[in-house]
Structure 1
Amino acid sequence: MRVVIVGAGNAGCAHAAELSFRGHQVVLLKTSKSMHDANFERVLERQGIDVIDNPRHGERRFQPFHLATRDLDAAFSTRPDLVFVATQSTQHEVIAKLVGPRLSAGQLVVVSPGYMGSCYFRKYSASPDVIVAEGESLPFDARIVEPGVVNVLWENTRNALAFLPRSRSDEGLKIAQALLPRYVAARSNVVESAMHNPNLILHTVGTLLSASRIEYSQGEFWMYREAFTPSTIRLMERLDEEKKAIISRTKGEPSAYLEAFKFRNEQDLDMPALDVLRKYASEGGPKGPTDMTTRYVTEDVPMGLGLMASLGLRLGVPTPVCNSLVVLAGALLGTEFESKARTLDQLGFAGMSADEFVAVING
């Protein structure tokens, strides 16, 4: 397939490398100079990247790309079958405005993880015949370790997507599976997919309750190994109950965050879900965060918990734990995350009643 990957951070570089390795024609597009710029300059120079591939026993290789560029017109002149958006969710609307006018009928746009950012790409698309997929987690977990080198830490076993319009879910899933066979299921709607993003619960609770440990450790902190003690897990379960109530209200299919985590990460679905999290922590979970300005807070609180609070308010579903975590995060960082939150009004659902909103997202 011809693929344009938008975003050249940890996720963009890893997915460009892995998809190129699998035989796809990959263009890696960077649209800003805000982060990872030294790395991308090295990628531009070599038109590829060195990969440390832990899923393949630490194999190291140079992976060339069809094209690495900052030029939007050059990237889309390749007439991509699929556009994979791998930027932080805070940038979704900006990217949708840049990419939307260049989209054409028959293309699939994958926004992952989405936090309902897929709605921006429907809003700004030049063609009504574009299919947009909302992902809840990336197929590969990775970190850039030095300019021109990406370390692929983990490869998911399965991934689910939701589609806009919902009526084209079967068609969209078929295209996604041609890219990566690990896309195995279509969620009921984009709210279900957004709320099943594991970062909504794992990143936010794990980081906020570890604030003193993160700051004291001076970089020697492993959230997935250290944070999830019994009391922390009890809080996560309370937040998860609020999430499941929102999914149920939108006619989706709720499941526990640990069960969704197991679905993505473990071949053996009979394995206890908490054991799967422990396995991920020991085998592939990344080190960090190193400080409280991590995207685990600055992205997942306003884009994830903020969205969840907006959904709860619109749908009449109480979200006291979610709301408290937003306030706590703001107090810890000295900012007002409520004013930065992603809301349904921003996504194009202003003025809709709860029932109208549920009807629209279900097609």
Structure 2
Amino acid sequence: MSSPNSAQLPSTYKALVFESASINPKVTSLPSPRPGPGTVIVKPLYSWVFNYAADIFTNGNPRNYPISFPIIGGGNAIGRVAATSADTRNLTVGDLVIVEPIIKERDGAHLPNTRGLGLSDNGTWAELVQIPLENAMRVDEAALKRNGIAVKDVAFYAQLVVPYGGFRDVGLTAGGTVLITPATGNFGGAAVHVALAMGARVIAMGRNEKILAELKALAPGRVDTVVFSGDLEADVASIAKYGPVDVFQDLTPPMATNTSHIQAGILSVRTNGRVNLMGNVKDLEIPYRAVVYRGLRIQGTLMYTREQALDMLKLIETGTLKLGPQAGLTTKRVFKLEDGVAALEFAAKEAGAGRAVYFAPNEE
């Protein structure tokens, strides 16, 4: 490996810049960043284009995310270190790293003071990105090679690590039964893969019967499925067919208009069981008596901790959590930055449970 040296960087780099949510993005040439104290420069190889990206960065931002325009989009990536600062100790130029999206204040670890790459800070849909040192997690590339894991497939980490944080918060254990709703979206589908890797049995609940069938086929005998009916009593009865639930994890998105499935999930949890809320529902009526009489624990989780992220990475590096199309995790398409609008439109239609779309600013 060459020694850390910011002079290795080009004078300019290309980035997909969003001037506002009402103007199509354009690839722009910008002065290359230089690493300052506590930061590192990364060359993103593959960066996830989530299926709701178009409703954040374009179309007038109907989700009303608090974005600081103009901005370079993209929060997650797998990439290589391009330059380091003088205080860097554990990373060198060329190292393979995962770029974490959540930036936390170093002197406010117990305060809700966070920012997000691609939302308030320039993100990873670019040839270079400057991030705090703690937001770069080194990947054991030798372990990937030993286990036949492709670098591109590791980019699925961005979807997998989110439900993992929730499972860890509520103590999901091998042999336990977890109910996941809705299991047919990006994070819900990822949650099924993660729960199986953790040794759990899964009840996957959603509306898309085709995707539910795909999830059931991942591990016959360990995955059961329930189709949302929209009727509380009917859904509780459908879940009950598969026995008591130890953990219920919900990832309902903000556009949901009927949240009876969340109530059904809570009512399906056994005595002293756990409920993990990771979605973005504004208001919810809780079955109060059931929570009290059964001694249920309700835990809200926003993303995950760094410790959990590192442990999740180990599941991937060791091959415990399988990746790639043979494991039901498929890359639908890889786009260049110049195809920004097409990428967002394609992701809105084709991304979802077990399906990913990426930008490849520096594809290897």
Asked which structure has the greater CA Rg, the reply is: 2
Q: Check whether TM > 0.5.
A: no
Normalised TM-score (structure 1): 0.31
Normalised TM-score (structure 2): 0.31
More strand by share: 2
